[in-house]
Structure 1
Amino acid sequence: MTLLAPSLQSYFTDHAHARKGLSPNTIAAYRDTWRLLIKHLTATTGVPADKIDLAMIDVEAITAFLEHLQAVRGNSAVTRNARLTAIRAVLAVTLPDHPEHADTITRALAVPARRATPRTVQFLTVEETEALLDAPDPRTWTGRRDRALLTLAVQTGLRISELTALTINDIHTGAGAHVTCTGKGRKYRATPLTAATLTVLVPYLAERVTRPGAAVFPGPRGQHLSRDALERRLSKHLAAATERSPSLRAKHVTMHTLRHTAAMRLLQAGVDVAVIALWLGHENTSSTDVYLHADMTIKQAAIDRTRGPQVTPGTYAPAPDVLAFLTSL
């Protein structure tokens, strides 16, 4: 057995779970990265997977793997950087236990991330949101379930992993109504529920308790819905919503788009970015600042507030008669 195998076993069975407390999704992403890396090394060097050692995980091997991800697999710079983070995470923990490979590992840890083009945040307008929430068929159980799920997602901004993990005990509809969850990084938070959300959620929960399982939004046998199941349900309702709101055709809408929509609704209502960061479960406001750039109406409002009292608010338009304008200067 090489040194790489026990290092990976130690990281994924001890460090990632017990010490770092990484989420199952993060652990799965790190695991998949190392599987891809080992398969790539096997294909390019001819060395069997169980013979690959720490010494082979050097700068050249990592750089070649990252280039392979973009050139062959078509991964974006964001995905490339996420894979690099997974490689660094394991190597950083491995370094203290294997000083004989310190030079190789240290140089590998210094591989730079690639600058990624910032992506524009996609969110739904009020009209698009209403069309989506009205799309599920209220005459069916799955329709009522999906409407409650989408309503909760748009109002609270919960991540898809947080929505799928909710149990009945996480929903509190009494005084100070709120939903609790353990989100990314094992962070616990409570999010208030509005009267409009309760109008949909309360009758749904009354019907929900007659069915098996503890999941708030269960599948046919009472089990928690999977991430893929939620995305499929969303795609179905988007098709119906697009008939009422054609502007949805131009948008790539996922469950995470509903999280962005919740954040933009708070921002447009004048809620401070620091409060929105707490609402969404962000560690700091840097992750929330992206929403400030997403809506031009917010920037336009800021410009309008800086105009002098004698200037009419609005976008500047030049005088129609350019010769008269130049004469007046």
Structure 2
Amino acid sequence: MNALAISLQTYFTTFAHTQRDLSANTITSYRDTWRMLLKYLTATLKVPADALDFDAITATNVTGFLDHLEHERGNGTRTRNARLTAIRAVLGRALPDYPEHAATITHVLAFPPKRTTRPVIEFLIPDQVDALLAAPDPTNWTGRRDHALLAMTVQTGLRISEICSLTHDDIHLGTGPHIACTGKGRHQRITPLTQATVSTMTTYLAERITRPGTALFCGPHGQPLSRDALEHRLAKHLATATATCPSLAAKHVTMHTLRHTAAMNLLAAGVDVSVIALWLGHADTHSTDAYLHADLAIKQAAIDRTRPPDVKPGTYQPEPDILAWLTSL
């Protein structure tokens, strides 16, 4: 077994769990990155995976792998940077143990992340939400489950990983109804439920308890739904909802879009950004500031406050009679 193989086994069996105490999602992401990197190097260098060592993890090869992710796999810049972080995490841990490979390793550790541009947040307006929630078929169990899942997600703004990990013990529908979850960075939080969500979930849970397993939203045999399963169900219902709400066709909607929708609904209701950050489980308000940029109503209100006293508030509209308007100049 060569030095690279030993380092990978040490990192994922000991260091990541005992010394760093990384979350299961982080370990999975790091593992998948190294699997893809080794497969890429095997195909590029024509060398078996077991024969790859640190001398194959050169700056040129890592750059080629990152470009492969972007141009051939269609990954975005954020994904590219996350994969680079995973590579650097293992190499940084291995560097003190293998000084003979220091030159190769330090070149990769010196890679800066690629600069990203923050896209405008996409979210659903009320008519689109109503169409999506009406899409699941209420005559079967799967449709009733999906309706409850979508309704709860739009109201609470939970992440897809948080939804997948929920059990029926995490939801409380009595006094002070809420749902408890462990989110990103192992931060535990409690999210209140509205009366409409409580009504939906009460009906759903009455049917859910007759099925096996503990997952709040489960498959046919009681097993928790995976991320892919949730996105697949959402895509199915989006296709149905688009027939009654054509504006959905112009939007790229994922489960995270529903999280953005919950945040924008809170912002539109006048909730402070710091409270929204706590609601969503953000470590600070910098992540939540993006919702301020997406809300045109806030910007319009700012414009209206700074208008001259003799100017009518609102967006400028030209006079209907262009000749009369030119005459009045």
* TM-superposed deviation, 1:308: 4.0
Aligned residues between the structures: 325
1:114 maps to a residue whose letter is: K
Give distance in 2, aligned partners of 1:41 and 1:204: 49
Note if 1:175 corresponds to 2:136. no
Note if 1:94 corresponds to 2:94. yes
5+ long unaligned stretches in structure 1: none
Give distance in 2, aligned partners of 1:119 and 1:47: 40
2:315 maps to a residue whose letter is: T
Alignment of 1:1-329 (within 5 A): 1-317=1-317, 321-322=325-326, 324-325=328-329
Using the TM superposition, name which of 39-48 and 197-206 deviates more.
39-48
* TM-superposed deviation, 1:95: 2.3
1:69 maps to a residue whose letter is: L
Give distance in 1, aligned partners of 2:84 and 2:119: 20
Give distance in 1, aligned partners of 2:71 and 2:228: 27
Using structure 1 for the length normalisation, give the TM-score: 0.91
5+ long unaligned stretches in structure 2: none
Give distance in 2, aligned partners of 1:74 and 1:19: 34
Give distance in 2, aligned partners of 1:131 and 1:145: 16
* TM-superposed deviation, 1:106: 2.2
Distance verdict in 2 for CA 1:191–1:21, change over 3 Å: farther
* TM-superposed deviation, 1:310: 3.5
1:239-276, Cα deviation, whole Å (9 max, x unpaired): 22112211111111111111111111111112222221
1:306 maps to a residue whose letter is: T
> Which secondary structure state, in structure 2, belongs to the residue aligned with residue 181 of structure 1?
strand
> Which secondary structure state, in structure 1, belongs to the residue aligned with residue 191 of structure 2?
strand
Give distance in 1, aligned partners of 2:215 and 2:195: 22
Distance verdict in 2 for CA 1:323–1:86, change over 3 Å: farther
Distance verdict in 2 for CA 1:226–1:268, change over 3 Å: same
* TM-superposed deviation, 1:167: 0.7
CA contact (8 A) 1:21 1:186 kept: no
1:8 maps to a residue whose letter is: L
> Which secondary structure state, in structure 2, belongs to the residue aligned with residue 168 of structure 1?
coil
Distance verdict in 2 for CA 1:208–1:23, change over 3 Å: same
Give distance in 2, aligned partners of 1:180 and 1:56: 46
Using the TM superposition, name which of 180-189 and 23-32 deviates more.
23-32
Give distance in 1, aligned partners of 2:260 and 2:19: 31
Give distance in 2, aligned partners of 1:143 and 1:71: 38
CA contact (8 A) 1:21 1:185 kept: no
Give distance in 2, aligned partners of 1:7 and 1:291: 42
> Which secondary structure state, in structure 1, belongs to the residue aligned with residue 91 of structure 2?
helix
> Which secondary structure state, in structure 2, belongs to the residue aligned with residue 267 of structure 1?
helix
2:231 maps to a residue whose letter is: E
Q: What is the identity percentage for the equivalent residue pairs of Structure 1 and Structure 2?
A: 64
2:173 maps to a residue whose letter is: T
> Which secondary structure state, in structure 2, belongs to the residue aligned with residue 191 of structure 1?
strand
